[in-house]
Amino acid sequence: MRPRAADCAIGALVAVGLLPAALGLYEDEVGQFDWHLQQIGMPTAFTYAEPTDRIFVASASGVVACVNLKDGAIAWRRVASSRDEGVHLLRAMGRTIVTATEGGSVQAWKTSNGDLLWQRQYATPVLDLMGSKGKNQVLFVLREGELEARSLSGGSHEWTVAASEAAAGAGLRALAPSPDEGRLCLVASAKDGSSAMSLRVDAASGKVLDKTDLPSVVGQGLRGQHLVTDTHMVFLSKQQVTAVPICGGGSGGI
């Protein structure tokens, strides 16, 4: 699954802001590049979280770090995996950040000091992470075979929705919040892209409330360039850009 639109924009900023170390600055660079980071590796994502005077960075080297925005000082640095794999997902949820490595390791970290709150190793890649709103936050972990809900504070299992609830042989592809409060929207498709559908799920129980067939462009587009922007999926082709709502509404193309 492709990154969200916000992640793409953030990635561009990271690429500029975390340039390799230099011995000095040219005169026209003063005020533009006031600091740089070392001992982190090539950045893959970053996010803001509490406290707000810091950013949290993940890298292809498997490092997660908390960085002071004012001077670039590293407040804490952790290695997310003992294996040689990068961190490809980084999400902020209140005073917790959650990471997922390319090898399927999901970890929750305390933003204040980098303490590891809990971790879970999955056998298949994690496609997306999303947190619920409210006091008792839940983390939703999306993989091709299932959507799983876990307590954000302790990592305990809450419920699971299997991809087979969409259709036999289908795989889950995308996750988004529903316009209806307390609901989630899942996108599933056949492996060959011949069909796709959305599932509306109750966020508290994991119960599938209804299913809706999606336009054929979704199944086909999932095999190419696409991204998720809130409640829509956007597909890129040589001829046009097409936006399809995951949970109701109208489609559009340019």
6 φ, ψ (degrees, to nearest 5): -65, -35
Which positions ≥6 away from 176 have C-beta within 8 Å?
130, 184, 185, 187, 228, 230, 231, 232, 246, 247
Give the tokens for residue 104: 């399927």
Tens digit of each residue's pLDDT (9 = 90 or more) over 32-44: 555 555 678 888 9
Tens digit of each residue's pLDDT (9 = 90 or more) over 123-154: 999 999 999 987 789 999 999 999 999 999 99
User: Per-residue pLDDT averaged across 187-204, rounded?
Assistant: 91
Which positions ≥6 away from 191 have C-beta within 8 Å?
169, 170, 171
Tens digit of each residue's pLDDT (9 = 90 or more) over 212-228: 998 877 887 776 777 88
Amino acid at 96: T
Question: Cα–Cα distance between 142 and 130 in angstroms, integer?
Answer: 8
The pLDDT confidence band at residue 9, using thresholds 50, 70 and 90, is: very low
Q: Please tell me what DSSP assigns to residue 194.
A: S
Q: pTM for the complete prediction?
A: 0.81
Which residue in the block uniquely carries the two structure tokens 């409330």? 209
Task: Report the DSSP pairing between strands 196-202 and 252-253.
Answer: unpaired
The pLDDT confidence band at residue 205, using thresholds 50, 70 and 90, is: very high
Helix (H) or strand (E) holding 220: helix 216-221
